[in-house]
Structure 1
């Protein structure tokens, strides 16, 4: 009988919490057929895919004593090649030390033999689909996907952030890891704390987990900070409510985590940067959508507001890419999109790191101004669905953009929208900003400036500020 081997870089996590339904589903899929079983586990970066599979392989080792377990980090070609060398060395495969050896082929042939016995291979972080199906860079080698061993005694498990990659590698055998429920997240949080009694404050616990979008990585990171600084949840929540730059700094704090690779950045604010770059390279329109969404509100984004693609097919695929990375969720009722709050924040940080924020915000301003209709009763539903996004993009643009026609044109329409919906104080604020800019850019006698003066007088009158409204009206008549 072939000697079994175990190459798992992580110990069993004593704080592992929940995920029993996913584990049961995976265990039922493995070793179930008369051919190699391939399964892919996918989900948002930081949602706990690797932790889930670590728990899975330790259970497999316990329940299948004669099963070899081989863990191969697929972060890049270098890490994958080194892992193949470790497998070949441990199994004592002939020829692996030769300079000209195709080690991946040797491992494939060895595991494909029945004499290799039962085995489970994990390819962790299989995020780059081009690495698997792209043209080989070395002459005489095959695509990585063609090196998979085949044996009725073998199983292959992939973890990936991208559902499209999961489907390519494992076809229909995919398992999605979603955000935790509040109850399970509370248990996980409690298990990570030095002072587990902190969770007895139900209100703060619930608020904290909601802010962390029930994401395991964010929970572990927050726990590490809370433990190190011995602070209550309320203090951490106050930090999350700070200015955007301060929140990014908080979410960029490094921390120790035995369930993650030592050479990989683990904070929440940086873990998605890899995904952003992959999307930018693979699907430029999806990256454009992500950048656009970072400049508007993160919730209830109408698809009609997104920039146009080369074709409807390209637009659908771009949204599919963002959905595949679990960055957006679709609202079935109105076909709108939601972007996770922390993803929204991290995307803005990514654009700043790439020195693209100003250009992207200006592009978004032009798009929203172009799409935003003049508020009328018959198109009320449309402009109301756009309004929060228009206000957000106006806030996102730098002061220099306030001199542009698009800025004061859009701000003027927002003022009219607020006037139509009875939000008079808000309307007054937008109209005053617009009037100031139009007076500076167009002049006090310009027809557009006079229209804005009339709107300001109207909104003042609606609030009972009759004297000021009359003064504004007299000024307008004076400039006619």
Structure 2
């Protein structure tokens, strides 16, 4: 029989317990362990895991060395976890596993939990144990069913999830946290997590692609924990959950019916004694880990009374503790204040409102009254923030939008010291949180609700309009250079869009904000969202400014471009003609904005094969821009490039080339080498060289354009497909079939998913892929592609268009090879008819 391993008793831990007169049972209960484990630690048989080591240190108010909790008695400290995060977030990471952990335990390397561990966290042991058992029960299953921490707003669901993450972090390689209070915030956090995970799709523009990459990572990796906080819309959240994977999913939600999506664990309110213990610790009347006997009988009874009065709601108790600590009114004073305000507060938020319970409203109303007395600007700041998205409110909305915030807050916002004082006053009561590194504010949504519900309708409308005007001040114009700033302000702008619609806001700034949002979303190829905002902006501007105002024309012009991107050319042409008519009437015939409409209308005509109509429009736009903006302006470069493209599609290559070269040179000088506009010019010149058979000159231009777009755009942006498709086409012409196919397939996939299956540009990808298979004698693979390309072009462009003729010719050639001579001859005849029509038009011109 083996001899038992010799151990060294831990006299320090035993001595500290005996000195305080605590039993093993008492200490074990306080740290959430059992007396047997504590006995093994004291005998030196084992060492506690990091979680219990921390609990013991907090209970005895000593460090690990003073309690003899480190293996071998060495003076060691645990190494921090390398999360790959910023120093700010690294400061919130839990302790890494020490030597007492078994070697097989996973090593936590990814962590983005945004909250520090709450030192005042009290109770919830039954819920935490049930949660841990439920998640680990199905360890061998492909994916354990999601667990949902469910309960009333403010009951402590988020804090319980935070505690779980810290307590059981040793069981995971990655712990990921996302806000799920809305689709927009969840998408935003998924994008951030994809960046944290360093996935190739981190710079994708199409958020659906980013989501797919994130779900794929979850399916292909194990030992992860995904926490989705405030997941009240479970159907929306379900779209973000993987169907497979070796990990755990934890939701916090107010929803009581979780269905098949998750197994529900109810978080109940605290018992009076538990709530009293939490409140005494929160107000520093009782040290963390100390027994309740250490406070007087009077304190304990008052704490019990407050806990009962607030019905054991942790958020209400925490808020009460903050008020008591900051004002030093004492427990009795708080009780007295509550009694005096009870009837007013019950009238404001009745007990029947389940998601905004009475005690929370009571606490916040008392705090707000104190703020109102101490700092009027702070009170207005809270009112202002009540109408914004609660998370990540950029400070520049307040500082740069100061003139729209009302007289009191305007003065404070223009003075950084005064603004600091206002924010500091709100932070005293935890009504507002500040992130100095990212220059953002955060406010709890229930605080927002209580503040708004305390206003009459006129006051609510006044603050809602101030928010719209202030956000309009800071939201950029949506051009490439402003994309980062646009994304930072987008959640606030989206809230404003909802306010504008809900409250029927009708003033010019509202239309301006909606239009700029739409421009940004359009640039990011989020066409459906952009279209809705454009029409909302158009309606406001037509009502406030009249149907023939230049700002109405500006929105119409942008809307026409949106329809052009979607391949809806007839709608685009009609709208652009209206925009042009307004601009010519209001601004004059040679205004730069008139040139903008001329240029866009010419582009729309060109895409439809109306070349004779397009050329004079391009020429006129170029002339206006050169005279009004100067010969080196970026708009002049666009006009030159567009005119060159018109000549290119007509086969006038000698006329197109100098225009392309000049446009490229101008953009490189004014915008730099890495701008997306430069990529357009590179691509157009490369296409010209490709058509002329100058493949050696074309390839580096195609490659450079692709690299620029890869740096500036998401991987599935339609412009990426343009570069991929035409570079793949060049490789096809060069006989580099193995290099061509993956590029063409990727381009087709992007266009189908981003533009739709029937878009004109999808036909280009189908045709190039079909021609690749044709060149490889894979006729059966080529035939459905070329047939579909022809059908799309006829549907979108009509039966008489040069691109339709090209598709007819391609398909006819293939059918000839497939011994379908009759069909081939018929298609070839149709193509000749179209070509003859355009040749005659050129002759007339």
TM-score (norm 2): 0.30
* Greater helix share, structure number: 2
* CA radius of gyration, larger in: 2
TM norm structure 1: 0.50
